[in-house]
């Protein structure tokens, strides 16, 4: 029995949350696995609203790593740098490594490290900046929800009919274009 | 029939809610996008260009020329002397850092507390933070005697084998303000990315190129939203202690010193509340200007927002009065003869009028006006109070820096401070702040539309018995 | 992290802790010390207008007060005020560039001109208000540059300066003594202000040798230290009112 091995690569645009969630559910019954689906939206809709599996993110871990780097920089400036001079410099009767100023230095540099790395984490996790042609339609930033189906083993006509029945505004082949 | 009457009531109150509350007055996202893009890209008219030219002229003379003259001739053309070694430069530095705190308060603290009314103006507030910090940076560099060597204060390995002196509050300032400037710029940029994508999708020409670069290829995939919102959560929580620490550290420039009137343990929280006081006043002025001068902004920024900020202004004014009295009472009671001389000089010296004006502007006027809901919902009235508060807070810092420095423990050195080139330099920073904002309003969409839509999605009207109430769902 | 002030030994050991005693009761207020200090240390001439505005750069000043109501007005003892070379100087920790540091070996507060970036925090924090800032590049019309002391740097605008206890004279005397294989003798040299004072109201010398004149005077018992209650540990003892 020959099966259609054509790769299905569709983009369906919905304007409401309800029909989009229905579509995701129905697509699963048609044999499209969650990995083959991707949802793009103009407003953050959580995966739970659409019945999708949760996305993992590395941002918190990267933030923690950055905080540790910042703390190390602070430890260097507070504890090591004062002894790096030709001779330890004496100011007033304060110790070479004074207590409260050290707290300030450690705190500020830890926060700086954490926040810089959180910012970088977004870039790394999302592969920003990305100026290659990507699959997208501009209607999404007008608040629409788009479902990509990229299924190597499915019936294109059945999927298209289902999506149209559930209220998709348009179903068309997904083309990678310059954004 | 009873039902019909109740339905009519319900319909009437729903209409009423929609008119008053942005969150209950949703428009299709496409329409809101259109409004924001149009208000940004409308071809600028003569009012815009006149403003830009005048401001640029003030910046060119007040900031560029005057600063170059001061670098060439020395700090002597300013008004600082013995004993007021610090003058308006430090007053302006503290003033601008104070204004910048309002942005973080609105976009971080209000977000953490889930105050929905913040949604339309978080970006306008964050722009205030970034631009305010730029002016603070200028003001602090201006006051240095050898500003061309200011890079010596940065921590980097050098031929002198020296690192900065971290015993000094000025070095803590460097770390804190750098951290705060970078963090708040990043916090401005993160929620801007989806709006950059929206602008990219709806523009042509040079704008499209600019937004395309700034949008970084954002599409709105589940992954991108997850990373973005996770990062924004971390930022919102983490930038609050940073903000508190920044103004505390700035206050320690004074509190760590040995001067009477300066060596006060309450300066930390006193300055933070003072910062919020002047900052919220400035925020409300910015919002009023945006609302009345830019197209469609009256849809996004409504009387309810001025009402909400007005309430905050009143509470913060009370907090400021508490901290001021705390500081004053303890100094007055302590009986130290130098501090008493200082307090007497504040109230009854040649600039005693400033002390009284400070109390009137910071306490009396806000308390007299902001208690009334109707007055609080009037944009021009609240923003006038905001300007008055900023004047009062500038006076407060003038009293703390040059006036307090005039009195010390060596009476032979007591002398008045008379500002010189600080005045054009200070006006230059104000003009630059406004100029940056005016230019930004043409390039950056001032309303975070995706956040507004997110909020509108979460709000609905529900009936509890016979009453129609606003209900907010926790969508996150 | 201890609070002890460690002694730092350097290759070129500086021997001698320096201090001063000033007798306000015999100071006549003639300002010879002020003039001598300005000559010795290349202090700039600021001019009448700036000086009236509180920008005089004298490293030592004579403070004059009176007390009482007219017509019973009395002069109080003249008060020469100069850098007290505090043991716990409030000016030192606040400089972000380490331009004012402590020399525990010499018991002096050092000012490093070429590290100063001019934030003026040290001047704000000095309770004695003895620091001078170079507000401008003040002119020295000819032939004044001929009078400059080659042992002392000439400071430019934007740099803080203050009394150094004539550290150039200290080091010159020490170098000479070292070359001759001995320690500096008390009275072998002195600061410009002490040298010029016609009433000998200013006495300068080593405080770590009990035989020196300064030590003997300081231990006489009726000396006071100004603003002692602040804990600055000043190195200058004053005789006042008796």
- The ipTM assigned to this model is 0.91
CB-based contact A89 C101, cutoff 8 Å = yes
Quickly tell me which residue has 């910048």 as its tokens.
B100
Same domain, A67 and A116: yes
Closest CB from B186, B202, B226 relative to A57: B226
Return the percentage of chain C with pLDDT > 90, whole number.
81
Count of domains forming chain B: 1
Average pLDDT, chain C: 91
Q: Which domain holds residue B180?
A: 44-472
Using a CB-CB cut-off of 8 Å, the residues of chain C touching B89 are none
Cα B173 to Cα B253: distance, rounded to the nearest angstrom: 8
Tell whether A91 is within 8 A of chain B (Cβ).
yes
In a domain, B19, yes or no: no
Question: Looking at CA atoms only, how far is residue A130 from chain B in angstroms?
Answer: 5
Tell whether C89 is within 8 A of chain A (Cβ).
yes
pLDDT-derived band of residue C6, with 50, 70 and 90 as boundaries?
A: low
CB-based contact A77 B166, cutoff 8 Å = yes
CB-based contact A90 C88, cutoff 8 Å = no
Backbone CA torsion sign across A147, A150, A154, A155: positive
Closest CB from A77, A102, A140 relative to B220: A140
Which DSSP symbol is given to C210? T
Return the percentage of chain C with pLDDT > 70, whole number.
94
CB-based contact C89 A97, cutoff 8 Å = no
Cα B213 to Cα B223: distance, rounded to the nearest angstrom: 20
Return the percentage of chain B with pLDDT > 70, whole number.
97
Sheet holding C202-206, edge to edge: C202-206, C18-23, C236-239, C223-224
Using a CB-CB cut-off of 8 Å, the residues of chain A touching C95 are 91
pLDDT-derived band of residue B473, with 50, 70 and 90 as boundaries?
A: confident
Find the mean pLDDT for residues C219-226.
89
Residue-level pLDDT at A143: 84
Residue-level pLDDT at C13: 64
Using a CB-CB cut-off of 8 Å, the residues of chain C touching A77 are none
Give partners of C (≥3 CB pairs < 8 A): A, B
CB-based contact A93 C2, cutoff 8 Å = no
H helical segments located in B294-378: 297-300, 303-334, 337-348, 352-359, 365-369, 373-376
Residues 36-55 of A with CB under 8 A from C: none
Tell whether C121 is within 8 A of chain B (Cβ).
yes
Tell whether C5 is within 8 A of chain A (Cβ).
yes
Residues 141-200 of C with CB under 8 A from B: 157-160
Spans of chain A below 70 pLDDT? 1-6
Residue-level pLDDT at A1: 40
The per-residue pLDDT for range C98-136, each reduced to its tens digit, is 999 999 889 999 999 999 999 999 999 999 999 999 999
Question: Looking at CA atoms only, how far is residue A159 from chain B in angstroms?
Answer: 21
Using a CB-CB cut-off of 8 Å, the residues of chain A touching B225 are 41, 44
CB-based contact B213 A130, cutoff 8 Å = no
Which DSSP symbol is given to A90? B
Count of domains forming chain A: 2
**pLDDT exceeds cutoff 70 at B63:** yes
Omega into C137 within 30° of 0, i.e. cis?
Answer: no
Tell whether C2 is within 8 A of chain A (Cβ).
yes
Residue-level pLDDT at B240: 95
Domain harbouring B314, CATH code: 1.20.1630.10
The per-residue pLDDT for range C178-193, each reduced to its tens digit, is 899 988 888 899 999 9
CB-based contact A90 C102, cutoff 8 Å = yes
In a domain, B292, yes or no: yes
Residue-level pLDDT at B468: 86
Both tokens of residue B108?
Answer: 């971080």
Residue-level pLDDT at C7: 57
Closest CB from C119, C127, C158 relative to B409: C127
Question: Looking at CA atoms only, how far is residue C4 from chain A in angstroms?
Answer: 7
Q: Which long-range contacts (CB under 8 A, 24 or more apart) does A158-162 make?
A: A158/A30, A159/A8, A159/A10, A159/A27, A159/A30, A159/A32, A160/A10, A162/A23, A162/A26, A162/A27, A162/A30
Residues 56-115 of A with CB under 8 A from C: 87-99
Q: Does an H or E element contain B92, and which? A: helix B88-104
C148's CB contacts (< 8 A; 6+ apart) are C42, C140, C154
CB-based contact B82 C54, cutoff 8 Å = yes
Tell whether C128 is within 8 A of chain B (Cβ).
yes
Using a CB-CB cut-off of 8 Å, the residues of chain C touching B338 are none
Question: Looking at CA atoms only, how far is residue C120 from chain B in angstroms?
Answer: 6
Tell whether C90 is within 8 A of chain A (Cβ).
yes
The per-residue pLDDT for range B229-259, each reduced to its tens digit, is 999 999 999 999 999 999 999 999 999 999 9
In a domain, B321, yes or no: yes
Omega into C71 within 30° of 0, i.e. cis?
Answer: yes
B390's CB contacts (< 8 A; 6+ apart) are B99, B278, B281, B282, B285
Question: Looking at CA atoms only, how far is residue B225 from chain A in angstroms?
Answer: 6
Question: Looking at CA atoms only, how far is residue A117 from chain C in angstroms?
Answer: 28
User: Which residue of chain C has the CA closest to A93?
Assistant: C88
The larger pLDDT score, comparing residue C31 to residue B474, is at C31
Tell me, yes or no, if the pTM score tops 0.80. yes
Residue-level pLDDT at A6: 61
Tell whether C90 is within 8 A of chain B (Cβ).
yes
Task: Pick the range with the lowest mean pLDDT from A24-38, B150-164, B214-228, C32-46.
Answer: A24-38
User: Is residue A32 within 8 Å of A12, Cβ to Cβ?
Assistant: no
Average pLDDT, chain B: 93
Task: Pick the range with the lowest mean pLDDT from A30-39, B441-450, C209-218.
Answer: A30-39
Vertex C14: Cα angle to C11 and C16 (nearest 5): 155
CB-based contact C92 A91, cutoff 8 Å = yes
Phi-psi region for residue B326, left (φ > 0), alpha (ψ -120 to 50) or beta? alpha
Beta bridge partners of B468: B463
The larger pLDDT score, comparing residue B375 to residue B467, is at B375
- C118, with CB counted inside 10 A (0-12, 13-18, 19+), is buried
Q: Which domain holds residue A80?
A: 59-126
Tell whether C117 is within 8 A of chain B (Cβ).
yes
CB-based contact B217 A115, cutoff 8 Å = no
What CATH class is the domain C18-239? alpha beta
Find the mean pLDDT for residues B74-85.
94
Using a CB-CB cut-off of 8 Å, the residues of chain A touching B224 are 126
Tell whether B354 is within 8 A of chain A (Cβ).
no
B394's CB contacts (< 8 A; 6+ apart) are B91, B95, B278
CB-based contact C6 A93, cutoff 8 Å = no
> Which of A126, A141, A157 corresponds to the end of one domain?
A126
Closest CB from A87, A92, A99 relative to C88: A92
**pLDDT exceeds cutoff 90 at B12:** no
In a domain, B10, yes or no: no
Residue-level pLDDT at B348: 95
User: Is residue C121 within 8 Å of C133, Cβ to Cβ?
Assistant: no
User: Is residue C56 within 8 Å of C43, Cβ to Cβ?
Assistant: no
Tell whether A131 is within 8 A of chain B (Cβ).
yes
Residue-level pLDDT at B52: 97
CB-based contact A41 B225, cutoff 8 Å = yes
Tell whether C31 is within 8 A of chain B (Cβ).
no
């Amino acid at each position: 029995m020959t099966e259609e091995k054509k790769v299905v690569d569709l983009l369906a645009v919905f304007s409401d949350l309800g029909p989009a969630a229905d579509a995701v559910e129905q697509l699963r019954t048609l044999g499209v696995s969650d990995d083959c689906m991707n949802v793009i939206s103009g407003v953050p809709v959580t995966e739970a609203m659409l019945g999708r599996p949760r996305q993992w993110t590395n941002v918190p871990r990267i933030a923690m790593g950055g905080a540790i780097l910042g703390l190390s920089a602070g430890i260097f400036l507070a504890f090591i740098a004062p002894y790096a001079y030709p001779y330890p410099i004496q100011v007033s009767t304060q110790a070479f490594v004074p207590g409260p100023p050290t707290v300030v230095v450690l705190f500020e540099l830890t926060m700086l490290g954490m926040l810089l790395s959180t910012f970088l984490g977004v870039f790394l996790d999302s592969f920003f900046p990305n100026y290659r042609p990507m699959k997208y339609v501009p209607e999404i930033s007008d608040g629409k929800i788009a479902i990509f189906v990229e299924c190597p083993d499915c019936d294109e006509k059945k999927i298209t009919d289902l999506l149209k029945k559930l209220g998709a505004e348009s179903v068309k082949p997904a083309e990678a274009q310059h954004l | 029939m009873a039902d019909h009457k109740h339905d009519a009531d319900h319909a009437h109150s729903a209409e009423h809610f929609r008119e008053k509350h942005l969150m209950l007055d949703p428009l299709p996202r496409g329409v809101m996008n259109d409004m924001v893009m149009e208000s940004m890209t409308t071809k600028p008219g003569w009012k815009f260009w006149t403003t830009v030219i005048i401001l640029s002229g003030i910046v060119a003379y007040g900031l560029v020329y005057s600063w170059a003259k001061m670098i060439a001739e020395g700090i002597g053309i300013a008004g600082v002397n013995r004993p007021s070694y610090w003058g308006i430069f430090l007053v302006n530095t503290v003033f601008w850092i104070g204004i910048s705190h309002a942005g973080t308060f609105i976009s971080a603290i209000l977000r953490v507390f889930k105050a929905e009314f913040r949604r339309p103006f978080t970006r306008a507030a964050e722009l205030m933070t970034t631009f305010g910090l730029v002016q603070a940076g200028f003001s602090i560099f201006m006051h240095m005697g050898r500003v061309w060597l200011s890079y010596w204060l940065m921590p980097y390995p050098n031929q002198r084998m020296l690192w900065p002196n971290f015993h000094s509050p000025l070095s803590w300032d460097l770390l804190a303000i750098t951290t705060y400037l970078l963090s708040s710029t990043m916090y401005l940029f993160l929620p801007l990315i989806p709006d950059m994508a929206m602008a990219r999708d709806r523009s042509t020409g040079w704008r499209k190129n600019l937004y395309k670069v700034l949008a970084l290829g954002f599409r709105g995939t589940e992954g991108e939203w997850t990373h973005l919102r996770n990062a924004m959560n971390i930022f919102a929580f983490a930038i609050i202690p940073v903000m508190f620490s920044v103004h505390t550290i700035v206050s320690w420039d004074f509190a760590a010193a040995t001067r009477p009137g300066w060596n006060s343990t309450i300066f930390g929280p006193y300055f933070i509340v003072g910062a919020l006081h002047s900052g919220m006043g400035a925020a409300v002025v910015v919002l009023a200007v945006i609302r009345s001068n830019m197209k469609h902004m009256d849809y996004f920024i409504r009387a309810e927002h001025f009402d909400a900020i007005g309430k905050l202004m009143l509470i913060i004014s009370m907090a400021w009065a508490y901290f001021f009295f705390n500081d004053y009472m303890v100094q007055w009671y302590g009986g130290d003869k130098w501090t008493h001389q200082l307090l007497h000089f504040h109230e009854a010296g040649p600039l005693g009028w400033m002390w009284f004006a400070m109390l009137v502007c910071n306490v009396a006027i806000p308390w007299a006006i902001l208690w009334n809901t109707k007055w609080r919902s009037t944009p021009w009235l609240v923003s006038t109070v905001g300007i008055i508060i900023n004047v009062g807070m500038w006076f407060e810092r003038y009293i703390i820096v040059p006036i307090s420095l005039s009195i010390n423990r060596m009476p032979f050195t007591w002398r008045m401070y008379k500002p010189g080139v600080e005045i054009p330099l200070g006006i230059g920073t104000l003009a630059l702040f406004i100029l940056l904002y005016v230019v930004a309003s043409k390039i950056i969409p001032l309303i975070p539309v995706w956040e507004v839509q997110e909020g509108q999605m979460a709000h609905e009207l529900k009936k509890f018995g016979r009453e129609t109430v606003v209900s907010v769902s926790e969508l996150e | 992290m201890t609070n002890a002030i460690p002694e730092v030994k350097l290759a070129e050991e500086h021997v001698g802790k320096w201090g001063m005693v000033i007798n306000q009761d015999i100071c006549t207020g003639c300002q010879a010390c002020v003039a001598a200090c300005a000559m010795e240390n290349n202090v700039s001439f600021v001019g009448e207008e700036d000086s009236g505005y509180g920008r005089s750069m004298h490293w030592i000043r004579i403070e004059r007060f009176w007390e009482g109501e007219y017509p019973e007005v009395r002069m109080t003892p003249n008060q020469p005020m100069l850098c007290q070379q505090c043991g716990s100087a409030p000016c030192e920790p606040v400089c972000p560039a380490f331009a004012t540091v402590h020399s525990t070996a010499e018991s002096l507060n050092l000012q490093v001109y070429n590290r100063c970036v001019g934030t003026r925090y040290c001047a704000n924090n000095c309770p004695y208000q003895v620091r001078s800032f170079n507000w401008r590049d003040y002119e020295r019309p000819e032939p004044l540059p001929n009078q400059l002391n080659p042992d002392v740097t000439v400071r430019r605008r934007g740099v803080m300066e203050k009394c150094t206890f004539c550290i150039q004279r200290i080091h010159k005397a020490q170098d000479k003594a070292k070359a001759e294989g001995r320690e500096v003798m008390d009275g072998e040299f002195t600061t410009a202000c002490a040298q010029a004072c016609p009433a000998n109201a200013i006495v300068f010398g080593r405080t770590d040798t009990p035989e020196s004149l300064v030590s003997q005077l300081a231990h006489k018992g009726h000396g006071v230290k100004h603003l002692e209650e602040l804990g600055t540990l000043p190195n200058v003892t004053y005789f006042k009112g008796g």
